[in-house]
Amino acid sequence: MVQVKLERRAPESVSVAKLDADIGKLETLEARIAFIGRAIEGRISFSTSLGLEDQAVLHAIAHEQRVFDVFMLDTGRHFPETLETLDTSQLRYGQMIRMVSPDAGETQELIARDGVFGFRTSIDARKACCVVRKVRPLAATLAGATAWVTGLRRSQSQGRNEVSFASWDGAMNLIKINPIADWSLDRLEAYISDNSIPVNTLHARGFPSIGCQPCTRAIKPGEDIRAGRWWWENEDGKECGLHSRPARLPSQEKPAPTTC
């Protein structure tokens, strides 16, 4: 069994490339989760949004009884249905999902400057909100972790079509693991159905991708599955910044005020 010994100053190591190849050779999600737990030393963190993908990964982690650090970003603006899914999942799997909140002072400054719905005035304002509520709390939570597990899939959007099973994340200084990177939506839905995995009731109401309540709507027939996220924007590959970052994280300097 290969042991991944992370060299913190190296952008990527041969062992990460081997890890990527080895995960792809395993057929089941349970086998992949078990392998990840054995092959990687140190803290393995799993950030969940309670979406379909993350619920599948959570199920496999619970099934294999692997000790992963499981947490969720509490943006303060989740749908009630999302919080119900959180409670149902904790009861089903007997595992608490740690809630990580943004810095209260930064959140108050953001609202004081841009307003409660200021994120709709510009893309920069929206990204500033995501940085405060998601990106910085994620970075603080992942500090010191060896690996970060996510539910990213290549077919989720055009911007994710090159997602690998394992790669070096230079911004977070850890190995990023995507155990269902190669799964189709059909395979994901079949896995959820076969294992009676609890899912957010909003999915049945036209919400394939669920984020903060003010920033998410149901999609129309034929729309991309992420069309309901930040629907007032017209750019392609819309992301909040958790999975599409520059080589270093945003600084603590506050972005300039925006106007309508």
- Number of residues that make up the chain: 260
Radius of gyration, CA atoms only, the chain:
18
Residue with tokens 């009630």: 80
Residues 6 or more apart whose Cβ sits within 8 Å of residue 181: 152, 153, 154, 163, 164, 165
Residues 6 or more apart whose Cβ sits within 8 Å of residue 250: 131, 135, 136, 241
Residue 138 half-sphere exposure, CB side, CA atoms within 13 Å? 28
The answer to whether the annotation marks 260 as part of a ligand binding site is no
- The Cα–Cα gap between 252 and 33 comes to 35
Residues serving a catalytic function are 240
Residues 6 or more apart whose Cβ sits within 8 Å of residue 161: 154, 155
> Binding site: what residues are annotated?
129-130, 212, 215
> Binding site for [4Fe-4S] cluster: what residues are annotated?
129-130, 212, 215
